[in-house]
Amino acid sequence: MSNSQPEAVQQHFEREVQGEARFDETLIFDPETGELVVQRRGEIRANPDAVTVDQPAREGFFANLSFAFLYEEQLQKVYQNWQVSGVDQIPAIAFTFDEGEVFHIYTSVPKTHFAGFPVPSTIKFLDRMPTIEESFSIVEEILRIFPNQHESQQVTVVVLLAIENERLQYRVFITQPDGNISEGIIKFIPQYSELYSRSTGLLETLVLEQCKVGIVGLGSGGSTVAVELAKAGVGNFVLIDFDRLELSNVARHVCGIGDLGRYKTKAVRDLLYGKNPYINVKIAELDINNSLEETKNLLKDCDLIVAATDNNRSRFNLNNIAIEYKITTIFGRALTRACGGDVLRVRPFHGPCLSCIFTKEFLETRKEEVSQFRQARDDNPAYVPDDEVKTTIQVGLASDIAPISNMIVKLALLELSRGRESGIQSLEEDCIADFYIWANRRENTYANWPKMEYGSKTPSVLRWYGAKWERNQSCEVCGNQLESIEADDNFFG
Ligand SMILES: [Zn+2]
The predicted structure's pLDDT at residue 457 = 75
Q: How far is the CA of 309 from the centre of ligand 1 (A)?
A: 19
Residue 70 has a pLDDT of 93
CA of 356 to the centre of ligand 1 (A): 4
pLDDT given for residue 450 in this prediction: 87
Q: Determine the distance separating the centroid of ligand 1 and the alpha carbon of 475, expressed in angstroms.
A: 5
Q: Return the minimum-mean-pLDDT range out of 76-85, 281-290, 461-470, 475-484.
A: 475-484
Domain(s) labelled CATH 3.40.50.720 in the chain stretch across: 196-488
- Least confident among 142-156, 258-272, 398-412, 478-492: 478-492
Res 207: pLDDT? 85
What is the 217 CA–ligand 1 centroid distance (Å)? 22
Å from CA of 236 to ligand 1 middle: 28
CA of 10 to the centre of ligand 1 (A): 78
Task: Give the residue, 37 or 321, on which the prediction is more confident.
Answer: 321
Q: Which fold has domain 196-488?
A: Rossmann fold (3.40.50)
Q: How far is the CA of 283 from the centre of ligand 1 (A)?
A: 29
> Quick check: 147 pLDDT over 60?
no
374-400 per-position pLDDT tens digit: 777 877 788 888 888 777 776 788 899
How far apart are the C-alpha atoms of 220 and 29, rounded to whole Å? 45
Residue 407 confidence class, pLDDT cut points 50, 70, 90 = very high
How is residue 445 annotated by DSSP? G
Q: Is 312 exposed, middle or buried (0-12, 13-18, 19+ CB in 10 A)?
A: middle
Tell me: the pLDDT tens digits for 73-111? 899 899 899 989 999 999 999 999 888 889 999 999 888
Fold (CATH) for 67-189: Cytidine Deaminase; domain 2 (3.40.140)
Contacts 24+ apart (CB under 8 A), 10-17: 11/38, 12/38, 13/57, 16/58
pLDDT exceeds 80 at position 58: no
285 pLDDT above the threshold of 90: yes
Question: pTM for the full model?
Answer: 0.80
352 alpha carbon to ligand 1 midpoint, in Å? 5
pLDDT at 3: 44
For residue range 150-170, what is the model confidence (pLDDT) as tens digits?
Answer: 455 568 899 999 988 888 889
Distance, CA 484 to ligand 1 centroid (Å)? 14
Distance 357 CA to ligand 1 centre (A): 7
Distance between Cα 477 and ligand 1 center (Å): 5
Q: Separation of 304 CA from ligand 1 center, angstroms?
A: 18
**Residue 487 pLDDT:** 33
Compute the distance from residue 301 Cα to the ligand 1 centre, in Å. Answer: 21
**pLDDT confidence band for 201 (50 / 70 / 90):** low
Distance from the CA of 354 to the center of ligand 1, in angstroms? 6
Q: At what angle do helices 312-325 and 292-299 cross, to 10 degrees?
A: 50
Residue 480, pLDDT above cutoff 70? no
CA of 289 to the centre of ligand 1 (A): 20
Dihedral in degrees, nearest 10, Cα atoms 11, 17, 19, 20? 0
pLDDT digits (tens, 9 = 90+) for 202-251: 677 778 989 999 999 999 999 999 999 999 999 999 999 999 999 988 98
Report pLDDT for 406.
Answer: 97
pLDDT of 18-42, one tens digit each? 767 777 787 787 777 777 888 887 7
Buried b (16+ CB within 10 A) or exposed e, 347-383: bbbbbbbbbbbbeeeeeeebebbbbbeebbbeeeeee
Orientation angle between helical segments 220-232 and 264-275, nearest 10 degrees: 20
Ligand 1 centroid – CA 322 distance (Å): 11
Interval between CA 315 and ligand 1 midpoint (Å):
13
CA of 473 to the centre of ligand 1 (A): 7
Between the CA of 307 and the centroid of ligand 1 the distance, in Å, is 16
Report the separation in Å between the CA atom of 376 and the middle of ligand 1, taken as the mean of its atom positions: 29
Share of the chain above pLDDT 70, in %: 86
The beta-strand segments (E) located in 21-116 are 25-30, 35-40, 51-52, 67-71, 89-97, 102-106
Whole-number Å distance, alpha carbon 370 to ligand 1 midpoint, is 26
Reported as a pLDDT band with limits 50, 70 and 90, residue 360 is low
Q: Looking at residues 288-295, what average pLDDT do you find?
A: 95
Q: How far is ligand 1, taken at its centre, from the CA of residue 460, in Å?
A: 29
* Distance between Cα 164 and ligand 1 center (Å): 66
What SS3 class is residue 337? helix
Report CA(407)–ligand 1 centroid distance (Å). Answer: 22
As annotated, the residues of the chain forming the CATH 3.40.140 domain(s) are 67-189
Q: What is the pLDDT of residue 103?
A: 95
